[in-house]
Chain A
C-alpha cells in the first residue's frame, strides 16, 4: 500500500496549484460572476493548453489520463483555488458520455478547448433520480423540459436525454441526443447560481436531435458519467473545505479579542480540532472513491455513495463552523470564505444529496 502521489501526479499538482493561485483571485471571480454566461474563456483555454481537459480521458479516447485519481487530483485543486469554470459539467460529465459513446471527434474538440457542452438530463420533478425522464423523443424529435442545466447558455451543443420507450422511471428506454444550442424550438431561461456559474431551464418544443450511441441505452452512459462526476465533485469540495479550514485557522490565530488571539479560547480551539479531524476523514473518503473507481461497479459505487454522504456531513460542519468562528466578517461578499462556504453547501445539491447517497449506500451494503 502506498498513499504517495506518483511523480507525475506530484508535478501536475504543483503546476496546477501555482497556476490556479495566480489565475483565480477575487478579481477573476468577480469577472465570472458579472459575466453574462457565468464563464470566462481565459481560464478555460489556459487549462486546456496545460492539458487539464485531456487528463479527463484515457489514451484510447484521445486523452492521457482518465483515472479516478487523475480526476480527483485536478478537481481538488480547482476547489482549493475556488476557480469558477464549468470543467465539471462541460468537460468531464458531458465529455465522458461522449467518450464512452465513441464520439471521439467531439472529445478531441473538447480537449483542445474549442467546445462547450451542457448535459440536459434532470427535469423539474426528477430531483436526484437518474432514471426519471419524462422528456420524449419520437423519430429524433424532442419534447419536454430540463431543469437546472449547468452551462446551458454558454454551450455550443447540448446533450439531451429523452425517453424513447418505457415508463417514466425505467432505466431502459432512455436515449441521448445532440441538440444544437440554436436549434429551432429550443429555449433557455438562463440564471446565475448562488455558488457561481450559470444554469438554465431548457424547454424543448419539437426540437430535432441526433442520436448519441444506441437508442434506449443511455442510462448506462449517464450512470458511469455521473459516477466520475460525483468523484470530481467530492474532490472539488474537499479542496474548498481545505481552503475554508486554512482561512479559519489563520483567522483564529490572528484575530484578537479580550486581549488575546481567539485561538486561545478552548471553546474555539476544540472545534477547530474537530474540523481538522473531519478534514482527514473527508480526504480519506475522497481517496477511496477515487482509488476504487476502476474496481467492480459495486465496490466503486459503495465508495462513491460513502464519499458523497460523508462530504455532505463534513462539508456542512466545515462551512458552518468556519463562518461561525470567523463571525460577521465571514458573512460578507468581500471575504473569500463566503464564496467558498456557498460552494461547499451547494455541492450537496449536485449528483444526489447526503440522504440520497445514504439510501443507496444502505441498499448496496445491507442487502
Chain B
C-alpha cells in the first residue's frame, strides 16, 4: 500500500495544472466559481479546448479517440479542474451515450456519432424521466410505434437538462406494452429538429432555466436510429447508469467548495473574531472535512477496483449517497458563513443591472447554490433508490 502519488502521477498533475493555467481564462473560471449560468458558447468553447488537447474523453478507449486514463489520473484531473473552477464537461454525449454506443451500437452508428460527440457537432440531451416515471423509470409511457422504415414517437419527457441547447436526444421509449415493463423498452436516437418536438423550459427554485420538458407529437424517427435490439433498451439504460456514476462522488466539487467556505469564514467576523475561530462553526467545518478526507480515499479505492475489472456496481451507489450528502453539507456551510448576505437574490436575471449586488466576501450566490444543489440527491437515481440498491445487493431480496 502506498497512499502517495507516484512520480508519474505528480508529473501528470503538473501537466494538468500547466494546461489549466494556460487554457482556462480568468473570465470563465470566475463565472464558474461564482455560480453564473454558463452560455452555450462557454460550454462549447471549453469542450473544444479539451478536445484539442485530447483530454475530452478520459474514459473512452483510445481506439475511439479517448484518453484512457487510469483511476488515479482521472481523480487528479477532476480534482484539478474543480480547484481551478473549470466548467463541468456536459456529460450526456461523452459519458452517458458514448459508452452505450461503444458497447451496443453497430459499426455505422459508432462511425457516425462518436466523432461528432468529440467535435461538438452534436449536443446530446437525455430523454429518460417522465412526469409519471421518475424513480420508477421502467413505468415510462412515451410510445414508439414502428411504421415501415421509421418509428412514430408520442409522449413527454421531463427534467431534460440543456434540452434548449441540444440538437439530439437519446430516449427510452415503449415499443411493447404487452410484456413486463422492463422488457418493452427501446433506446432511440432522435433529432431534436424533427417536426413534432417541442421544448418547454422549467424554471427552478433558484431562478435557473437549465431543465426542460420535451414533448413528442407524431415524431418520425428512422429505424436506423434504434440502438441495439428493439425491446432491449432497459439493459442499455442500466449500463449507461453505471457510467453516469463515474465521478459521482464529486470529490473535486466538494474540495473546492470546502476551500471556499474556509476562505469566507476567515474573512467573516463573528463576535469580534474570524468566523473560522468560532468553535461551533469550526466544528461544523471540521466534521465535513473529516468525512471528505475519508470519502476521497473511498472514491479512489472504488474507482481503482473498477478500472481493474469492470464498471463500479453497488459501490457507485454508496459514493452517490455519501458524495451528495457531503456536497450539500458544504453548500449549507457556505450559506451559514455569509450570514445576512445569504438573503439577496443573486441570479442571472438581475446580473444585468448596473450595480453589483452586495457580496462582501466575493462568495457568489451561495443560497441559490444551496437550493439548486438539492437536486443532486434527487437526479440520476435518487438517494432513496441508491439505498434500495445497496440494501438489495448486500442482503438479497
Contacts and interface: CB of A to CB of B under 8 A. Distances in A.
B74 interface: no
A332 B203 contact: yes
B358 A328 contact: no
Contact of B350 (A191, A265, A354): A191
The 8 closest A-B pairs by CB, nearest first: A338-B205, A257-B136, A333-B203, A355-B280, A194-B345, A127-B339, A192-B345, A148-B340
A133 to B, nearest CB: 14
A251 interface: no
B135 interface: yes
A354 B387 CA distance: 30
Given A192-B350, A267-B384, A324-B377, A148 B343 contact: yes
Interface residues of A, number: 49
Contact of B358 (A147, A265, A320): A147
Interface string B325-363: 000100010011001111111000010000101101000
Contacts of B377: 324
Interface in A82-140: 122, 124-125, 127-129
Nearest to A128: B339
Nearest to B131: A329
A194 B369 CA distance: 11
12 contacts: A125-B269, A127-B269, A147-B358, A189-B358, A193-B345, A194-B371, A328-B375, A332-B205, A342-B205, A349-B340, A353-B336, A358-B280
| Of listed B134, B268, B340, residue having the most chain A CB within 10 A | B340
B205 A191 contact: no
Nearest to B129: A328
Interface in B259-299: 268-272, 275, 278, 280-281, 284
Interface in B165-192: none
Nearest to B272: A169
A354 B270 CA distance: 13
A324 B370 CA distance: 13
A354 B268 CA distance: 17
B184 to A, nearest CB: 16
A201 B202 CA distance: 32
Nearest to B388: A267
A345 interface: yes
A327 B339 contact: no
A316 B333 CA distance: 12
Interface in A310-354: 316, 320, 323-324, 327-328, 330-334, 338-339, 341-342, 345-346, 348-350, 353-354
Interface string B239-273: 00000000000000000000000000000111110
B378 A327 contact: yes
A156 to B, nearest CB: 23
B135 A257 contact: yes
A148 B203 contact: no
B374 interface: yes
Contacts of A211: none
A193 B368 CA distance: 11
B41 to A, nearest CB: 26
Contacts of A327: 134-135, 378, 382
B357 A191 contact: yes
B378 A333 contact: no
A350 B375 CA distance: 25
B340 A127 contact: yes
Interface residues of chain A: helix, strand, loop or mixed (majority) = mixed
A258 interface: yes
B159 interface: yes
B139 interface: yes
A334 B284 CA distance: 33
Contacts of B132: 256
Contacts of A194: 206, 342-345, 367-368, 371
A144 to B, nearest CB: 15
A84 to B, nearest CB: 13
B367 A346 contact: yes
Nearest to A124: B360
Contacts of B206: 194
B371 A328 contact: no
B5 interface: no
Contact of A349 (B136, B275, B339, B345): B339
Contact of A324 (B345, B368, B378): B378
Contacts of A31: none
A268 interface: yes
B95 interface: no
A342 B204 CA distance: 12
A359 interface: yes
B283 to A, nearest CB: 10
B387 A333 contact: no
Interface string B140-161: 0000000000000000001100
Contacts of B379: 328
A340 to B, nearest CB: 10
Contacts of B275: 127
Interface string B190-210: 000000000000111111000
B134 to A, nearest CB: 5
Nearest to A122: B340
Given A191-B357, A194-B367, A268-B384, A328 B134 contact: yes
Contacts of B375: 328, 331
B378 A320 contact: no
A268 B382 CA distance: 12
Nearest to B382: A327
Interface in A159-203: 169, 189, 191-195, 199, 201
Contact of A331 (B284, B345, B374, B382): B374
Contact of B139 (A147, A257, A353): A257
Contacts of A122: 340
B342 A355 contact: no
| Of listed A267, A332, A338, A349, residue having the most chain B CB within 10 A | A349
B59 interface: no
Contact of A191 (B135, B139, B284, B344): B344
B341 A148 contact: yes
Contacts of A125: 269, 360
Contacts of A268: 384
Given A195-B343, A346-B342, A358-B280, A332 B371 contact: no
A331 B371 CA distance: 8
Nearest to B372: A331
Given A199-B343, A342-B205, 8 more contacts: A148-B344, A169-B272, A191-B344, A193-B343, A328-B375, A328-B379, A334-B202, A339-B205
A29 to B, nearest CB: 13
Contacts of B357: 191
Contact of B371 (A189, A259, A334, A341): A341
A6 to B, nearest CB: 35
